[in-house]
């Protein structure tokens, strides 16, 4: 019976310890995401690590939480793509962030049939698209194979800027590459 009372107390102490350690861990956490890049005039899928790490927000309403500045942007588009929609082969219209809020996107490369990525809307739904027509002849293909619509937000960067990053590896990010986000969300990065 006494051990049952210790469990909630121990859990509270662990949670408090995690909160005390969180700021230092958050500052060190880099953000990794899948990106559409280009090499040799062809689109590529790459796993990028953003140069700017997460920081602790001081902004009212989010103070104390992890925050990452994605840079300056221009216009924002909100798209509703029906289930089973095929957008075909196309280039990114601009260097842009694409946030899939819901649904499912399947991205393939016309010049590389060995590389593809499925992007689920939600926590891991952010990609960067930089395979514009000036760097990629064919672009990429996107389809939406889900059973419901896909909601996407497209956010071109100001002046076409590509955010500072390093390429972790060719191909989309894996679950291991984005594990830090899960740990961050749990307060234990």
pLDDT of 82-126, one tens digit each? 999 999 999 999 999 999 999 999 999 999 999 999 999 999 999
Query: What is the per-residue pLDDT for 65?
Result: 86
132-188 per-position pLDDT tens digit: 999 999 999 999 999 999 999 999 999 999 999 999 999 999 999 987 766 666 655
Per-residue tokens: 81: 């793509």
CA angle 94, 34, 83 (to 5 degrees): 75
Distance CA 160, CA 156 (A): 7
Domain total in the chain:
1
Which CATH number belongs to the domain containing residue 80 in this structure? 2.60.120.10
Average pLDDT rounded to a whole number, residues 21-30: 54
Domain extent for 72? 2-185
How far apart are alpha carbons 179 and 138 in whole angstroms?
A: 32
pLDDT-derived band at 21 (thresholds 50, 70, 90) equals: very low
pLDDT score recorded for residue 57 = 87
CA distance 35 to 8: 43
Q: Please state the φ and ψ torsions of residue 98, each to the nearest 5 degrees.
A: -125, 125
Number of neighbours of residue 121 by Cβ within 10 angstroms: 19
Distance CA 149, CA 136 (A): 28
Geometric angle at alpha carbon 91, from 145 and 102, rounded to 5°: 35
At 186 the pLDDT is: 61
CA distances from 95 to 12, 73, 129, 135 (A): 45, 10, 6, 11
């Amino acid at each position: 019976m006494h051990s049952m009372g210790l469990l909630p107390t121990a859990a509270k102490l662990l949670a408090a310890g995690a909160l005390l350690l969180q700021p230092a861990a958050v500052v060190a956490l880099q953000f990794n995401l899948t990106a559409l890049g280009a090499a040799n005039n062809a689109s590529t899928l790459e796993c990028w690590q953003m140069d700017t790490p997460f920081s602790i927000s001081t902004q009212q309403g989010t103070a104390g939480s992890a925050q990452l500045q994605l840079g300056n942007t221009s216009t924002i588009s909100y798209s509703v793509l029906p289930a089973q929609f095929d957008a075909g082969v196309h280039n990114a219209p601009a260097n842009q962030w694409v946030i899939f809020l819901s649904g499912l996107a399947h991205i393939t490369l016309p010049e590389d049939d060995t590389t593809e990525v499925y992007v689920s809307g939600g926590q891991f739904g952010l990609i960067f698209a930089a395979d514009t027509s000036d760097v990629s002849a064919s672009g990429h293909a996107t389809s939406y194979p889900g059973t419901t619509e896909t909601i996407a937000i497209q956010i071109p960067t100001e002046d076409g800027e590509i955010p500072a990053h390093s390429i972790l590896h060719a191909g989309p990010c894996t679950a291991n590459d984005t594990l830090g986000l899960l740990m961050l969300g749990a307060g234990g990065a």
